[in-house]
């Protein structure tokens, strides 16, 4: 589909931008760096361990939902899929609220920034709000565009059918009604499929943004005490976030090449961010005004995307579905799974 190919190209462009721009956030730090204990050699060992463990766990996490073809219990038709997806959605929701959004507030309200304009207006909440609304608009317009495009194809096929011999009188009316009903089902299924594709791409965009920022921050740090707890925390974070993204990609029923590209983007972004951070360690200053503004803006935008996607596209879509509403057992399992996922991710804020 031409529309989907254009979106993949757009996603690639955005990811390229998000990988390049953070390397520019260098400058002179205007604040006291504090009592950081720097040990470049020891910190580098932790960084390499983080890079390897995050890469492996990200790849495993995003691939687990695809095992439904091998392990029937993990297929989207089974209840366990919804329970697992609820857990992953809880992780993503807590990531947006507990990890990303507070970091954005800290960056954009830092004393290292000028009081004007940064102290005059809550830019963090404003950026997050605008990004959430922008995500809603992308969802709406993309779905509406596809429905309109597909409806034109349906009209053409129906017109062709009416020209076929043997479709006159009562037989014609009966066949036409049946044909129209079939097209209605196809349109509904196609709209749902498109929605899952839009969700998977936008969700990956939000994840990639904050993953790059996190990776650069870890890679640029020279304090082993800061990096050490992040290794386990980020590994857990990326594993379950990958499960959430993988679940969305599975439901989107993309082609193998598209699935591979999206999986690689997710698995490689944080390790690539760490590698970039290691490369710019000597010139990167996390408290420089430029670094704070870029990091804070990207984190605020990422939190808006993640919170919207988790609440609207992942949780509301499943929890309000007829399948969930008809099964009290499935509702209980999904709610518990959601609370556990959000709770575990929130607990990690103590170390990350």
- Say how far apart CA 267 and CA 208 lie, in whole Å: 9
Looking at residue 241, its pLDDT comes to 83
pLDDT tier, 12 (very low <50, low <70, confident <90, very high otherwise): low
Q: Mean pLDDT for the chain? A: 78
What integer is the mean pLDDT of 87-113?
Answer: 89
Note the pLDDT tens digit of each residue in 164-198. 555 454 444 444 444 554 455 555 666 677 778 88
Looking at residue 216, its pLDDT comes to 86
Predicted TM-score (pTM) of this structure: 0.72
Q: What angle do CA 222, 223, 227 make, to 5 degrees?
A: 100
Q: Quick one: 236 exposed, middle or buried, by C-beta within 10 A (0-12, 13-18, 19+)?
A: buried
- Provide the percentage of residues in the chain whose pLDDT is more than 70: 75
Token output for 331: 């509702």
The answer to whether the Cα torsion of 272, 277, 280, 283 is positive or negative is positive
Q: Which residue has the higher pLDDT, 24 or 49?
A: 49
């Amino acid at each position: 589909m031409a529309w989907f190919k254009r979106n993949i190209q757009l996603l690639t462009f955005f990811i390229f931008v998000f990988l390049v721009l953070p390397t520019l956030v260098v400058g002179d730090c205007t604040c006291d760096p504090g009592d950081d204990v720097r040990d470049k050699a020891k910190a580098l060992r932790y960084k390499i361990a983080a890079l390897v463990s995050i890469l492996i766990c990200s790849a495993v996490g995003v691939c687990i939902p695809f095992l439904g073809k091998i392990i029937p219990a993990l297929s989207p038709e089974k209840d366990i899929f919804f329970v697992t997806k609820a857990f992953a959605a809880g992780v993503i929701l807590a990531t947006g609220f507990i990890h990303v959004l507070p970091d954005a507030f800290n960056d954009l309200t830092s004393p290292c920034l000028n009081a004007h304009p940064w102290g005059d207006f809550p830019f963090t909440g404003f950026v997050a709000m605008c990004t959430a609304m922008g995500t809603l608009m992308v969802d709406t317009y993309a779905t509406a565009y596809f429905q309109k495009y597909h409806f034109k194809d349906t009209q053409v096929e129906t017109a062709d059918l009416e020209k076929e011999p043997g479709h006159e009188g009562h037989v014609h009316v009966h066949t036409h009604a049946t044909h129209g009903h079939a097209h209605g089902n196809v349109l509904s299924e196609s709209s749902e499929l498109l929605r899952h594709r839009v969700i998977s791409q936008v969700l990956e965009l939000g994840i990639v943004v904050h993953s790059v920022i996190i990776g650069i921050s870890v890679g640029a740090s020279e304090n082993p005490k800061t990096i050490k707890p992040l290794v386990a925390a980020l590994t857990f974070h990326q594993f379950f976030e990958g499960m959430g993204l993988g679940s969305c990609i599975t439901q989107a029923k993309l082609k193998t090449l598209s699935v591979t590209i999206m999986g690689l983007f997710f698995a490689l972004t944080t390790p690539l961010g760490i590698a970039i951070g290691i490369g710019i360690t000597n010139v990167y200053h996390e408290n420089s005004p430029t670094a704070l503004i870029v990091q804070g803006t990207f984190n605020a935008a990422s939190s808006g995307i993640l919170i919207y996607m988790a609440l609207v596209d992942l949780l509301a879509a499943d929890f309000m579905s007829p399948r969930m509403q008809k099964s009290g057992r499935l509702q209980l399992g999904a709610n518990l799974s959601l609370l556990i996922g959000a709770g575990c991710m929130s607990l990690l804020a103590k170390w990350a």
